[in-house]
Structure 1
Amino acid sequence: MASIDILHPHSKSPKQARKAVEDVAKKLSERFDMDYGWDGDTLNFSRSGVEGRIALLADTLRVTANLGFLLSAMKGPIEAEIRRVLSDKFD
C-alpha cells in the first residue's frame, strides 16, 4: 500500500479555504465517484482503493491518502495531480 502526504501553504481565510476544499471534493466526487464528508476542519474522502483526508490548518493544508494495491502503481501521477489542483486553488 502506498501513501501520500502533502503539506501545502495557503493564505486564505478559514472560510475561503473550506470553500475551496469543498469545491475540489465535489469535482472529485463527480469525476471519481468518491464519498466525502467533513469532520471538524478535516474533509475525509474515500472510494474503492483510496482513503484519505484534507486537514485545514491555519496557513497550511495537509493532504494524506492511502492507496490500495492497484492504485499504488499510479502514486506519482496521482500525487502530481493533487499538487496541481492545490496550486490552482490555493496559490
Structure 2
Amino acid sequence: MSKIDIRHPHSQPMATARKSLEQVAAKLDDRFGMQSRWEGDTLHFSRSGVDGHIALEPESLHVTAQLGFLLSAMKGSIEQEIRRVLDEKFA
C-alpha cells in the first residue's frame, strides 16, 4: 500500500473553503465513484482501493490517502491530479 500526504495552503475563509472542497468531492464522486462525508472539518472519502480524508484547517488543507495495491502503481499521477485540482480551487 502507498500513502499520499499533501499539505496545501489556502487563504479562503473557512466557509468558502468548505464549499470549494464540496465541489472537489462532487467531482471525485462523479469521476471516480468516490463516496464522501463530512465529520467536523474533515472530509472523508473512499472507494475500492482508496481511503482518505482532507482536513480543512484555517490556512491549509491536509490530504492523506491510503492507496490499495493496484492504485499504488499510479501514485505519482494521482498526487499530480490532486495538486492540480487544489491549485485550481485554492489558488
Q: Name the counterpart of 2:11.
A: 11
Q: Distance in 1 between matches of 2:85 and 2:37?
A: 19
SS at match of 1:12: coil
Deviations 1:63-90 (A, max 9, x none): 0000000000000000000000000000
Runs of 4+ with deviation above 2 angstroms: none
Identity rate of aligned residues, in percent? 64
1:34-77, Cα deviation, whole Å (9 max, x unpaired): 10000000000000000000000010000000000000000000
Tell me which residue corresponds to 1:85: 85
Distance 1:8 1:90 in 2: 8
Which residues of structure 2 form unaligned runs of 5+? Answer: none
Task: Report the TM-score, using the length of structure 1 for normalisation.
Answer: 0.99
Instruction: State the aligned residue count.
Output: 91
- Aligned CA RMSD, in angstroms, stands at 0.3
Counterpart in the other structure of 1:34: 34
Aligned to 2:20: 20
